Structure 1
Amino acid sequence: MTSHRETAGLPEGSRLVEHRLDSGMRTLAIEVPTARQVRLVAAVGVGYLDEPTAWPGLAHLLEHALFLGSSRHPQPGDFATWVGERGGRYNAHTGEYVTDVHLTLPLDATEAGLGRLIDIVAHPSLARDKVAREVDVIDAEFHARLADPELHRLAASARLFQPSHPAYRCHHGHRRSLGGDDTRLHEALTAFHATHYRAECMSLVMLGPQPAEQQLTLLTTAAGSISTGAAPLPTRPWRWAPPARVQWRPPGETTSPPSTLELLWPLPDPLEPAQRQAGESLVASLCDGALAATLLRHDAILDLDARLDTNITAAALVLTLTLTPAGRRQVETLLATCQAWVADLAKRLPTPVARPTVPHDLDNWPKTLARRLALGQVAIPPATDFATDELATWLKAEHCRVLEPLSALGEAHDTAPETGTLLRCSYRTAPDVPIWPCQPASTLEQRPLASGATSSVAPGIIANDDALTLWWDGGPPLADTYLALAWPAPVTKRAARLACWRQRTLSLRQAATRLGLTLVQGSDGHDDWLLGWGDASRLESCFTQALAAWSQHVDETTEVPEQGLLAQRLLSRLDHLSPPRQPTHPRCLAWAGGMLGPANAESCCRRLIATLPAPLPKPDTTRLSLPGHIPQAPGAGWPICWVPPQADDQALMLQIDAPDDSPASQALFQLLAQCHDAAFHQELRQRQGLGYVAAVRYREGGGWPRLGYVVQSPTADITTLQQAVREFLALQGTTLAMLDPATFLQRRQALAASWGPPETHAEALTRTWQALRRQTAQLAPWQIQQDALQTLTPGMLTALAEALTTGSLTGQWWAHSPSQ
């Protein structure tokens, strides 16, 4: 048993304890006292690059088949229904060399959830007829993903690898690669599971508030039924081909070229601790704001990110640039500048770069650790000293690989055989052109705080006039400060305006992160806003520069590229809708607390709002449709908005708006989504076979509760999909919401867990700020939500469902058709 001291990034009082069982399975308990829910992850150290050559897509199919029934719960959908009834959520992921299933549950479902998780991972039914039907789902998913740029990026990146390596081929799976012989497919699938889904290849991780020792007891008990005897994995060879530049774009006249430029430097495999430490320091230096400032000087990028990939056979330093139109015209200079920058940094890093602690995402961190453990890696790599030249020889310009946009369809030299990705490859990766001169990162000046800055003032409104409403949330014991400011802004083109603003502040945000400050920008139907926390003496300088970069006007050339499946793109529209009722006050709203002090907070806020351009727009109380969509009225019911053609699939979403934005409506809409989601998926995807995606999702665009009933199909037309959604609501919409008192109480308690006190400092700040912006006159919105939950009854949920099924709620359809 190993107790990790490294808990940086987790809330105070957290502990990590690791234990390897006699079976060889590795377990990890993450005790986080503030956690409201438990996160469970089961990971297996085998992925799609380990599947038999004859069966491309077999690992992905197995991931799907895990949810088609298990030894104790044999019916497809049993797992999803059980998780949904408890207000939980789940998902799975098949990576190159690891597959994982993860779920989030209320605390009282921990033990049962572990049992269910182990049952589907270690003891799936894998019934032949169900597996055969799931091939159709995999095939529909594959064709749906042909509209997702990420699939084509993977096809392009494969050209950077040796043709003999498994990573050179497509492993998604479809009817051609998996269909044809159900018996042989079933034999291959069961053999793959029996060979690899064994204790020696697996890890089990829990994150929750329970003591670590109690967690380990639960993990050990749950893992007891997992068989041993995993077969040794084949040798995993070096994958990289000689350096190359691969230009790519999705096929089709309606598709746009990608907006990213990626530079990749392969690193030793495996990375030694000293090399990992050097790589992490290099990543921190690339993201300190100076490189971003240099590239922004020439209007070349929208965003910049660097990361250290430690994947088996693919360790690499990766620099990703999101390009502007101007950047696409200057790719050669961009490449030369970035390659020279990396080579220079690699030679002169004398000591590890001091990096502020970045809080871990409590949902993603357990998955990361589970994947490491399943691959036999160390959960928390130890800190170590490193030599200056640890990676310098690997990071020369001539060793760089490049993925870049292919601008014109006619420039393609090749086509990826399965995805149709348009490709053009060359082997001159280091351009011989002048580089741009270095620019300094943004400077955050320190401003001395006035004496008596932390004097005691009761929390509440401390300033309220025609220009400013300021909430004060109290002084120490916080060691830092937090500040937030919101102001009226145009309700149109919010996404594009936010993208422009974030571009202009990229160097500033990176410089702030290096100094331990966090800066969050937002724009929604209420207003535009800024939230930051960290060093009190530097926060005003940070805000002043961020506000100087804000503008009401949008650069029309700024593009906000859409990503993901069509269904995901439709759901994302709910995040950008304005609330039906706009705020009526034209003043600025501010919120502050911590070491800044009330007097400093008010004077700081008044200086900041004086820098905003005048006049600020007056509030608009109209309800707007998104630009570029033409509302049409069918014979009856909700209007329909058509989105521009983006792919070959049909996709439809029914948007339903809540009557108000009260906590009660928020809760009832979330409960209704839980009631409908699994049944909607089962009816439209499993029973009717209408498509790969069929889901009900809750969203709060602009703080307003909404539901999205979304389905994506490669075959059914929009009329058929509309009819299927209408019939589902008419036949099952109300019945599914008629919960007995015990079930309703269970669902309400599960929602109470997700609405409880904040798990992290960042969540507390974000939730409080959003509540204040919605004019909730309290500084602990989670308590208001808890109080609202206690007032809900089963009859209120049933009444909401009846209002939906009878058309009494406001809503509209969003539709996509390649022929529209």
Structure 2
Amino acid sequence: MQGMLAHAPHLTHAHVSITIAAGYLDEPSTLPGLAHLLEHVLTTAPLTASSNTSLLTWFAQHQGSLNAHTDDYVTDVHLSIPADSLEAAALTVASQLATPTISPPTIRTEVAAIDAEWQARQHSSAMQRLSAIATLSDPQHIGAGCRHGNAQTLGHHIWLLHEALTTFHRNHYHGGRVSIAIISPRATEAVTRLIQRMATLFNPLPPNAPALAITPRWGSLPRAKVVGTAHAVELLWPLPSSVSRHQFNALSDVADSLNQGYLVDQLANSIIDYHATAAPTGATDTFSLALTGTAPQERLEVLEAFLSERLAAPLATAPIDHRTVWRPPAGTVQLAAAWFVYARQQALARRLAANTAAQPYFPTRDRWPVPHWLVYSAPTTFQHADDAAHLAAVPHVQRWCGQYGVSDDFASLADTTWAACFIPNAMFLPAPLAAKRCARSGVICQHMQLAQGSWVITVGEGATVAMQTLLKEANVNTAIVPQGLLAQRLVQRLTPLPATPAVWVSHEADADVVCHALADLASRIATRSVQTPSINGSASTAIMRTLSLPGTPTQRWLLVLAEQHHSAAFFQQARYDHHLGYVAAVRRSDGAPCSLGYVVQTSEDAEPVGKKLLSITDALWQAAEDILQTPTSLKHSLTRPETPLAALITQWQSLLSGTDQPLHRLGQQSTNSQALNELLTLINTHGHWQTHWLDSTGHYRVND
């Protein structure tokens, strides 16, 4: 068993990852989707201590969150929980993973859930990429086929599946493959003891268990084509079958270095952006460099040779890793997400190191790794020089200046410079490699595209100058390329955003120059239409019922409680009791107004699903007094920002949504049970109910 921990005293929540060194390339070749199915069963099967509660419902009841992901060579279950519930949560999850109850009814339900997931995702860009990766694999390797799984590949022989799941669990979910990683505010000694207790719940390595080492999968095909939304190339350097942990960590450091702008001078001007990753999802036994844009093949081949030599360096020796403290990569917003990635990578490093003692890998100059290419093509891309543009009237720019209390979250922000800009109803198109140039100069740059517009923020010394340069060199286009599942796009519409451009700067002296630059950019609107690839996917519809309130502090807290109280019940009823679709979730938007959305995504006839969604939400609110049963849990309901950048983004989103202070900093002094009770009795007069519809053709409608 492998254990890792980090101490972060400022956290209010603990984040735990339990990673199993087994994925879909370890499952029987005749049962695609078995590893994925086991992940589903483990999180939805009844707990041993409570036949009516699964892991998912347990976490909804304890103000936490839990998710899981099956990758090619690792599977991880990760959770976030209020710190004072860490021990109970961690032991509950470890016990369920170690000794689950695998029942035929749960298997049957989760086969249907995986099939619905397959129907929703099979034509997505992520699945297109995985399909291309499969074509690059050796035809004799299990990786040469699609391993997602669906009702057809898993079949309907439930007892055969039960036997296969039991065998797969016994062979892989044991102490020889388990890694536990915890970051929390708790004392190191206490967390160490907790990890040890969790480890004892897993069985020891069984006799004749499958080998931990990875079998090389890559074939001789040099490249594969992928249909995408933009021209791009992803270079995948296969890792040797034996790489020490220190060598793997050195490769991760190379990726971090590249992402800080190290490659800017090596790239053609037509490359818009790039991102380097050690162990990317779907190809965790590789090093990836993804390039967005176009470049002559000769330039790409020069880059390939340059990076092949750069990657060979950490593999040519046995480097010593002197790091004793984990640090998130520069520009990290969500600490939990960065920690979970690190935990997965360390579990993978354990597999890569399995053969190191017998076969240490030290390449010579003539054995540099040669990458495979994933070549993405799209019918239309943004080309700034060709975009038709018109000059609009210079718009009014809304502005905010100063701290707004962010230094209360992180004292370091009192001496930090930042600039943030928002453009409504348009897509912000930064100049090629703009974010990487910022990173190279020590300025963090984050960009977010939403259904209602775009925002960008720069942070660090020189942030104002960097923002002026970004705005001067950028373009905007009124056509917004849709991204993500239909349900995700619909949820974005929950957030109220300004109808005019907006700016927030740390220092008032910088406001005028940034506002002028933003107004100038907003007046140059590109009118070229954007085409996305035509993919013959199955028709589906996302439906969301929303409750909106004006946004007083009491109303905002009420929706926090409602989200917390309704999440588990809505998920159970929408997904399992009534089979409304793969996606079923409750999502909240804080602001003025504040909103709560109940969203599903279905491939069935949308009208009956919409009616059932209406009846489910009506029933939940008819028992609304239950929301107030545990008012003391309010303090656990929100996760405070865990990084300085997250604190800035949270405040920025709060300003854009019409409130001066985010809810976590507002406090509960103005909220009490009587006020909440009074609001509940008047919910129909204060609240505005609507139903939103978005189908796979892009048609959006809303009705009361």
Determine if the TM-score, normalized by the shorter chain, exceeds 0.5.
Answer: yes
Q: 1:275 to 1:667 in 2, by over 3 A?
A: same
Amino acid aligned to 2:173: Y
- For the pair 1:150 / 2:123, whether they are aligned, the reply is no
Q: Indicate the residue corresponding to 1:208 in structure 2.
A: 184
Instruction: Report deviation, 1:276.
Output: 4.6
8 A contact 2:18–2:181 mirrored in 1: yes
- For the pair 1:560 / 2:481, whether they are aligned, the reply is yes
Q: Decide which of 520, 543, 556 is 2:446's aligned counterpart.
A: 520
Deviations 1:490-530 (A, max 9, x none): x332xx2x2x13xx1x5332122123321234677999765
Q: Distance in 2 between matches of 1:392 and 1:733?
A: 68
Listed as ranges, the matches of 1:55-94 within 5 Å are: 55-75=31-51, 77-94=53-70
Q: Distance in 2 between matches of 1:287 and 1:240?
A: 26
Amino acid aligned to 1:260: A
Q: Indicate the residue corresponding to 2:472 in structure 1.
A: 548
Q: Indicate the residue corresponding to 1:263 in structure 2.
A: 235
Q: Indicate the residue corresponding to 1:765 in structure 2.
A: 648
Instruction: Report deviation, 1:607.
Output: 4.2
Question: What percentage of aligned pairs have identical amino acids?
Answer: 27
Q: Indicate the residue corresponding to 2:390 in structure 1.
A: none
Q: Distance in 2 between matches of 1:732 and 1:578?
A: 28
Q: 1:543 to 1:238 in 2, by over 3 A?
A: same
Q: Indicate the residue corresponding to 2:586 in structure 1.
A: 696
SS at match of 1:33: coil
Instruction: Report deviation, 1:27.
Output: 2.4
Higher alpha-carbon deviation: 89-98 or 223-232 = 223-232
Q: Distance in 2 between matches of 1:31 and 1:819?
A: 46
Q: Decide which of 390, 397, 403 is 2:374's aligned counterpart.
A: 403
SS at match of 2:10: coil
Q: Distance in 1 between matches of 2:337 and 2:522?
A: 39
SS at match of 2:490: helix
Q: Distance in 1 between matches of 2:95 and 2:417?
A: 47
SS at match of 1:698: strand
Q: TM-score, normalised by structure 1?
A: 0.70
Instruction: Report deviation, 1:61.
Output: 0.7
Q: Indicate the residue corresponding to 2:437 in structure 1.
A: 511
SS at match of 1:297: coil
Q: 1:401 to 1:90 in 2, by over 3 A?
A: same
Q: Indicate the residue corresponding to 2:277 in structure 1.
A: 307
- For the pair 1:30 / 2:6, whether they are aligned, the reply is yes
Higher alpha-carbon deviation: 759-768 or 128-137 = 759-768
Q: 1:295 to 1:470 in 2, by over 3 A?
A: same
Q: Distance in 2 between matches of 1:697 and 1:351?
A: 47
Q: 1:518 to 1:693 in 2, by over 3 A?
A: same
Q: Distance in 2 between matches of 1:357 and 1:175?
A: 39
SS at match of 1:738: helix
Q: 1:197 to 1:788 in 2, by over 3 A?
A: farther
Q: 1:57 to 1:615 in 2, by over 3 A?
A: closer
Q: Decide which of 482, 488, 497 is 2:416's aligned counterpart.
A: 482
Amino acid aligned to 1:783: R
Amino acid aligned to 2:477: V
Q: 1:797 to 1:135 in 2, by over 3 A?
A: farther
Q: Distance in 1 between matches of 2:451 and 2:29?
A: 51
Q: Distance in 1 between matches of 2:170 and 2:537?
A: 38
- For the pair 1:739 / 2:626, whether they are aligned, the reply is yes
Q: Distance in 1 between matches of 2:85 and 2:569?
A: 21
8 A contact 2:593–2:658 mirrored in 1: no
Q: Distance in 2 between matches of 1:645 and 1:32?
A: 46
8 A contact 2:279–2:345 mirrored in 1: no
Q: Indicate the residue corresponding to 2:543 in structure 1.
A: 653
Q: Indicate the residue corresponding to 1:639 in structure 2.
A: none
Q: 1:392 to 1:295 in 2, by over 3 A?
A: same
Q: Distance in 2 between matches of 1:219 and 1:674?
A: 28
Q: Distance in 1 between matches of 2:347 and 2:602?
A: 35
Instruction: Report deviation, 1:481.
Output: 4.5
Listed as ranges, the matches of 1:160-179 within 5 Å are: 160-179=136-155
Instruction: Report deviation, 1:467.
Output: 9.6
8 A contact 2:543–2:599 mirrored in 1: yes
Q: Indicate the residue corresponding to 1:749 in structure 2.
A: 635
SS at match of 2:445: strand
Q: Distance in 2 between matches of 1:109 and 1:341?
A: 49
Q: Indicate the residue corresponding to 2:666 in structure 1.
A: 784
Listed as ranges, the matches of 1:220-619 within 5 Å are: 220-231=196-207, 232-234=209-211, 236-249=214-227, 259-272=231-244, 276=248, 279=251, 283=255, 286-287=258-259, 289=261, 297-298=269-270, 301-309=271-279, 315-323=285-293, 327=294, 333=296, 335-344=297-306, 347=309, 358=330, 360=332, 361-375=334-348, 377=350, 393=366, 399-405=370-376, 470-471=401-402, 478=412, 481-485=415-419, 489=423, 491-493=424-426, 496=427, 498=428, 500-501=429-430, 504=431, 506-521=432-447, 530-535=456-461, 538-551=462-475, 553-554=476-477, 560-563=481-484, 565-574=485-494, 578=497, 590-592=504-506, 601-613=507-519
Instruction: Report deviation, 1:93.
Output: 0.8
Larger Rg: 1
- For the pair 1:41 / 2:41, whether they are aligned, the reply is no
Q: 1:390 to 1:728 in 2, by over 3 A?
A: same
SS at match of 1:739: helix
Deviations 1:327-365 (A, max 9, x none): 4xx6xx1x321220242355589999xx99626542123
- For the pair 1:667 / 2:557, whether they are aligned, the reply is yes
Q: Distance in 1 between matches of 2:258 and 2:180?
A: 34
Q: Distance in 2 between matches of 1:687 and 1:777?
A: 41
8 A contact 1:63–1:93 mirrored in 2: yes
Q: 1:260 to 1:795 in 2, by over 3 A?
A: farther
Q: 1:589 to 1:338 in 2, by over 3 A?
A: same
Q: Distance in 2 between matches of 1:159 and 1:645?
A: 19
Q: Indicate the residue corresponding to 1:413 in structure 2.
A: none
Instruction: Report deviation, 1:117.
Output: 0.8
8 A contact 2:551–2:593 mirrored in 1: yes
Q: Indicate the residue corresponding to 1:437 in structure 2.
A: none
Instruction: Report deviation, 1:544.
Output: 2.6
Q: Indicate the residue corresponding to 2:618 in structure 1.
A: 730
8 A contact 2:474–2:521 mirrored in 1: no
Amino acid aligned to 2:632: L
Q: Distance in 1 between matches of 2:195 and 2:202?
A: 12
Q: Distance in 2 between matches of 1:611 and 1:257?
A: 29
Instruction: Report deviation, 1:395.
Output: 5.4
Instruction: Report deviation, 1:181.
Output: 1.9
Q: Indicate the residue corresponding to 1:795 in structure 2.
A: 677
Name stretches of at least 5 consecutive residues in structure 1 with no aligned partner.
1-24, 250-255, 381-388, 409-465, 593-600, 618-626, 629-643
Q: Distance in 2 between matches of 1:672 and 1:473?
A: 28
Q: Distance in 2 between matches of 1:567 and 1:523?
A: 16
Higher alpha-carbon deviation: 263-272 or 36-45 = 263-272
Q: Decide which of 673, 684, 697 is 2:574's aligned counterpart.
A: 684
8 A contact 2:422–2:456 mirrored in 1: no
SS at match of 1:173: coil
Amino acid aligned to 2:595: R
Instruction: Report deviation, 1:484.
Output: 3.6
Q: Distance in 2 between matches of 1:125 and 1:560?
A: 44
Amino acid aligned to 1:693: V
Q: Indicate the residue corresponding to 1:20 in structure 2.
A: none
Deviations 1:584-608 (A, max 9, x none): xx9x75432xxxxxxxx45444444
Q: Distance in 1 between matches of 2:698 and 2:522?
A: 42
8 A contact 1:261–1:322 mirrored in 2: yes
Q: Indicate the residue corresponding to 1:128 in structure 2.
A: 104
8 A contact 2:18–2:78 mirrored in 1: yes
Q: Indicate the residue corresponding to 1:186 in structure 2.
A: 162
Q: Distance in 2 between matches of 1:312 and 1:647?
A: 22
